[in-house]
Amino acid sequence: MDFANLASQLNAGTILPEGIVILTLLGVLIVDLILGRTSSRWIGYLAIAGLLAAIVALYFQWDATNPIAFSGGFNSDDLSIVFRGIIALSAVVTILMSIRYVEQSGTALAEFIAILLTATLGGMFLSGASELVMIFISLETLSISSYLLTGYTKRDPRSNEAALKYLLIGASSTAVFLYGVSLLYGLSGGQTELSAIADGIAKAHIGQSLGIVISLVFVIAGIGFKISAAPFHQWTPDVYEGAPTPVIAFLSVGSKAAGFALAIRLLTTVFPLVVDEWKFVFTALAVLSMVLGNVVALAQTSMKRMLAYSSIAQAGFVMIGMIAGTEAGYASMIFYLLVYLFMNLCGFTCIILFSLRTGTDQIAEYSGLYQKDPLLTLGLSISLLSLGGIPPLAGFFGKIYLFWAGWQAGLYWLVLLGLVTSVVSIYYYIRVVKMMVVKEPQEMSEVVKNYPPVQWNLPGFRPLQVGLIVTLIATTISGILSNPLFTLANNSVSHTAILQGTTAVSTQANAVNIEQPEKL
């Protein structure tokens, strides 16, 4: 094999964004080794610059003519670009949050950022991975870094416990996933590349055999863990409560987006024969997640735990788009994940700010906050209301698109359930707003009475403020000015080859669905 041929097979230019992240990661580590703690003043900004450069590189990859790289191991199509962008962006905001948080906890910032960048790298590779080994390796890179991040504040027993829980559950669900994946390798006659597996299974004429169904279920168990869909959600509330808050912010957006990217790529490419089965399983997961996430969130007293259940519920909403399986369905998922990034990270920034200033994150302690810190109150209120789907915020448009896509695909009951559980969700989101805004000055909690004067010029607070304001503005206006985001989401789906075959089938199914109601 001559060199030119090999280079075209490798097509290594497609992973330029990841390459930039790797360089940044190494840079952060080396600078830390050479300069020690003194570097922590600017090392965060170095990492942010690297991530932003990676996002710019992603922009230039858009609509690449030859997206397949590494002999089919990596696919840099538009779908993967959108997800890699979401993951990189969530890492940017997470670093903005963590500069002060990690410093205050007395641990090293550079190590934290290095592990976070590794997790980002794993997530970004996972979004484009189209080969079983590659998928597994990037999934593990993401997971192992996440365990380390969860237990990063190692003097805090809750953080330790969360890391142990996350590790045990995570490792076993990866093992289950691995078992499912190895079944696929066997069933397809020794293929590891995703489209080759689909061909192999089709050629073997095993159709919807038990083997395929078992491997499907095992794979879904692994995916369900990453996107924290009920009943694979049990780690979420405990990990969210124990882990450092910036880590949660990353897990709830970056890691979840990576899980959805994996889900779309794996399920649509490998399991076209059992499409009804995985849609059925996901319907069950969506129903459970929406009901359980929203109902249990009602009874939480800790802010982080409430957001944990809320993120389970939000995963349920996103799954509606996945089950619809149409072009609009996938586009609505991507759009929702984009706006979810803004609103969740805005919310978590406010929680970090509050806990940095007061040292607690109980919901009851927020009461009367509007008097002491109006910007924080505004940010948290807007982000929570947006999560609840109140117009004209970003979350409203995200939910409308999801429901509209679901309805177009004939998922009437699922959409109705989504609407009902949205009403439930408004109740617990508004409870926090009520604590902050509605309470009288004399009902102020002890913590808020002793609230320190708001100062932004302390070290590490400026990036927090920037992160808060940027995500706040994005949450407020990305609904009203949603056209660019809609175009982005729609194009990323319509330009992606792997989704074209599946959506064609589903549109036919829809055509049947349109006629059915006439018989009523």
Partner 1 sequence: MLSVLIWLPILAAAIIAVIPKNLPTNTVRLSALYFAAIVLLWNIFILFKFDISNPGMQFQENIPWNETLGLSYQLGVDGLSILMLVLNSLLTWIAIYSSSKDTQRPRLFYSLILLVSGGVAGAFLAENLLLFFLFYELELIPFYLLISIWGGEKRGYAGIKFLIYTAVSGALILATFLGTVWLTGSTSFAFDAVSTQTLSAGLQIILLAGIVLGFGIKIPLVPFHTWLPDAYVEASAPIAILLGGVLAKLGTYGLLRFGMGMFPQAWSIFAPTLAIWGAVSAIYGAVVAIAQKDIKRMVAYSSIGHMGYILLAGAASNALALVGAVAQMFSHGLILAILFHLVGVVETKVGTRELDKLNGLMSPIRGLPLISALLVLSGMASAGIPGLTGFVAEFIVFQGSFSAFPIPTILCVVASGLTAVYFVILLNRTCFGRLDNLAYYPKVQWFEKTPALILAVLIIFLGVQPTWLVRWSEPTTTAMVAAIPAMEKTVNSEIALKP
Interface with partner 1 (CB under 8 A), residue from 24, 482, 502, 506: 482
Q: Which residues, 6 or more positions from 19, have their beta carbon under 8 angstroms from its beta carbon?
A: none
Question: Does residue 407 interact with partner 1 by CB under 8 A?
Answer: yes
Q: How many CA atoms lie within 13 A of 508 on its CB side?
A: 5
Question: Does residue 448 interact with partner 1 by CB under 8 A?
Answer: no
Region binding partner 1 by CB under 8 A among candidate stretches 75-83, 137-145, 422-430, 498-506:
422-430
Element (H, E) at 74: strand 74-75
- Compare residues 490 and 507 and give the one whose CB is closer to partner 1: 490
Distances (CA, A) of 77 to 65, 91, 494: 9, 21, 11
- Compare residues 182 and 490 and give the one whose CB is closer to partner 1: 490
Question: Does residue 390 interact with partner 1 by CB under 8 A?
Answer: yes
DSSP string, 323-363: HH-SHHHHHHHHHHHHHHHHHHHHHHHHHHHHHHHHS--BG
Interface with partner 1 (CB under 8 A), residue from 310, 408, 492, 502: 408
Smallest gap from residue 512 Cβ to partner 1 (A): 14
The first and second tokens of residue 458, run together, are: 């302390």
Question: Does residue 453 interact with partner 1 by CB under 8 A?
Answer: no
- Compare residues 94 and 408 and give the one whose CB is closer to partner 1: 408
Interface with partner 1 (CB under 8 A), residue from 282, 397, 428, 451: 397
- Compare residues 65 and 483 and give the one whose CB is closer to partner 1: 483
Question: Does residue 483 interact with partner 1 by CB under 8 A?
Answer: yes
Distance (Å, whole) CA 105 – CA 306? 23
Q: Which residues, 6 or more positions from 303, have their beta carbon under 8 angstroms from its beta carbon?
A: 351, 361, 362, 363, 366, 432
Region binding partner 1 by CB under 8 A among candidate stretches 240-248, 294-302, 414-422, 496-504:
414-422
Q: What is the pattern of x (binds partner 1, CB under 8 A) and - over residues 184-223?
A: ----------------------------------------
Question: Does residue 280 interact with partner 1 by CB under 8 A?
Answer: no
Question: Does residue 81 interact with partner 1 by CB under 8 A?
Answer: no
Residue with token string 């999934």: 139
**Closest among 478, 233, 229 to 336, alpha carbons compared:** 478
Q: Cβ of 148: how many Cβ atoms within 10 Å?
A: 19
Q: Which residues, 6 or more positions from 318, have their beta carbon under 8 angstroms from its beta carbon?
A: 227, 260, 333, 336, 337, 340, 402
Question: Does residue 438 interact with partner 1 by CB under 8 A?
Answer: yes
Smallest gap from residue 307 Cβ to partner 1 (A): 19
- Compare residues 173 and 314 and give the one whose CB is closer to partner 1: 314
Q: State the DSSP code for 454.
A: P
Distance (Å, whole) CA 66 – CA 497? 11
- Compare residues 1 and 520 and give the one whose CB is closer to partner 1: 520
Q: Which residues, 6 or more positions from 36, have their beta carbon under 8 angstroms from its beta carbon?
A: none
Which parts of this chain interact with partner 1 (CB under 8 A)?
Answer: 328, 331, 385, 390-392, 396-397, 400-401, 403-404, 407-408, 412, 415-416, 419-420, 422-423, 426-427, 430, 433-434, 437-438, 482-483, 486, 490, 514, 517-518, 520
